Chains A and B, each alone.
Chain A
Amino acid sequence: MSLWVDRHRPTSLDRLDYHPDLTHQLKKMSNSSDFPHMLVYGPSGAGKKTRIMAVLKELYGPSVEKLKIDMRTFTTPSNRKIEINIVSSNYHMEITPRFGDNEIPVFSDVGSQDRLVIQELIKEVAQTQQVDSSAKRAFKVVILNEADSLSKDAQHALRRTMEKYMNNLRVILCTNSTSRIIGPIRSRCLLVRVAAPSADEITTVLTKVGIKEDFSIPHEFALKIAEKSNGNLRRALLMLESAKVKQMSFASQIPLTDWENYISETARAIVAEQTPKKLQEIRGRLYELLTHCIAPEIILKTLLFDIVKLVDVTIVPEIIRIAADYEQSMRQGTKPIFHLEAFVAKFMAIYKRFLFELMN
Chain B
Amino acid sequence: MRLPKKVKTGATKSNKKVKQSPEMDVDAICDSDSDQERERATPRENQANAREETMSLLWVDKHMPLIERELAVHPRKISDVREWLQSAVSTDPLDTAMRNLHKSHRLLALTGKSGVGKTATIRMLAMELDVDVVEWVNPTHGYASDDSYSPSILSKFTEFVSSARKANTLVFTNESELDESAYPLTKTSKKLILIEDLPNLSHTATRTLFHAVLQSHVQSQSAVVYPIVLILSDTVASSSDHSDWRASSFESGLNLKNLVPEDVRTSSGFSRIHFNPIAPSILVKSLNRIIDQEFGVRKDAVLKKPTRQEIESVAHSCGGDIRNALNTLQFLALNRHTNSSRNISSQERSQRISQQSSSQRSVAKNDSISKSDVGNRNVNLIFYHALNKILIGKREDLRLILSSEFFCVGSFKHYAGLSTSEQCDQFPGSSESFSTNNDTNHDMHLPRHLSHHERKPLKSNPENVFEASHVDSDTFTAYLAQNYTSYFTDIEECVLAADAYCTADTLSGSWKNRSSMSVYSASIACRGTVFARQLPAPSQKFGGMNKPHLFTALKEKRETLDTLQESKTRWHKAYAKYLESEDGDSSKGNGNGVFRISHNHSSQAIILEVLPFASQIIAPTDTQLMNTLSFFGPRICKFTAMDENDCAVEISEEYEQIGKTRGSGGIHSATIMDEDAAIEDDIED
Contacts and interface: CB of A to CB of B under 8 A. Distances in A.
Given A1-B618, A276-B485, A11 B494 contact: no
Interface string A59-102: 00010011111010000000100000101000000101111010
Interface string B94-115: 0000000000000000000000
Contacts of A349: 491-492, 494-495
Interface stretch (A113-121, A163-171, A328-336): A328-336
Contact of B604 (A66, A71, A103, A212): A103
Nearest to A280: B485
Give the one of B499, B502, B572, B616 with max A CB within 10 A.
B502
Which applies to chain B's interface (DSSP): helix, strand, loop or mixed?
helix
Contact of B491 (A258, A284, A352): A352
Given A69-B573, A258-B632, A342-B495, A298 B608 contact: yes
Q: Interface size class for chain B?
A: 35 or more
A12 B596 CA distance: 21
A171 to B, nearest CB: 18
Nearest to A352: B491
Contact of B609 (A234, A334, A346): A234
Contacts of B594: 1
Nearest to A295: B604
A88 to B, nearest CB: 10
Contacts, number: 241
Contacts of B489: 276
B576 to A, nearest CB: 4
Interface stretch (A183-191, A260-268, A310-318): A260-268
A96 B604 CA distance: 12
B617 A241 contact: yes
B156 to A, nearest CB: 22
A198 interface: no
B576 A338 contact: no
Given A276-B490, A291-B560, A259 B632 contact: yes
B679 to A, nearest CB: 6
B509 to A, nearest CB: 5
Give the one of A262, A288, A334, A335 with max B CB within 10 A.
A335
B25 interface: no
B614 to A, nearest CB: 6
A197 interface: no
B681 to A, nearest CB: 11
B553 interface: yes
Given A2-B596, A146-B602, A338-B501, A258 B615 contact: yes
A37 interface: no
B198 to A, nearest CB: 25
B509 A1 contact: no
Interface in A285-343: 287-288, 290-295, 298, 325-326, 329, 332-335, 337-339, 341-342
B602 A6 contact: no
Contact of A334 (B505, B600, B613): B505
A145 interface: yes
Interface stretch (A44-52, A133-141, A154-162): A44-52
Contacts of A291: 553, 556-557, 560
Contact of B612 (A87, A257, A288, A346): A257
A326 B413 CA distance: 11
A294 B607 contact: yes
A50 B613 contact: no
B147 interface: yes
A339 B616 contact: no
Nearest to B636: A292
A65 B603 contact: no
A280 B486 CA distance: 8
Given A329-B505, A333-B505, 4 more contacts: A49-B601, A96-B603, A234-B610, A255-B616
25 contacts: A2-B595, A9-B598, A9-B600, A67-B599, A69-B576, A103-B561, A235-B613, A238-B610, A242-B613, A257-B616, A258-B616, A265-B683, A274-B491, A283-B549, A290-B553, A290-B557, A291-B553, A293-B560, A332-B506, A334-B508, A335-B505, A339-B505, A342-B502, A345-B498, A348-B494
Interface of B: 146-147, 412, 478, 481, 485-486, 488-495, 498-499, 501-506, 508-509, 549-550, 553, 556-558, 560-561, 564-565, 568-569, 572-573, 575-576, 578-580, 583-584, 586-587, 590-605, 607-610, 612-620, 630-632, 636, 676, 679-680, 682-683
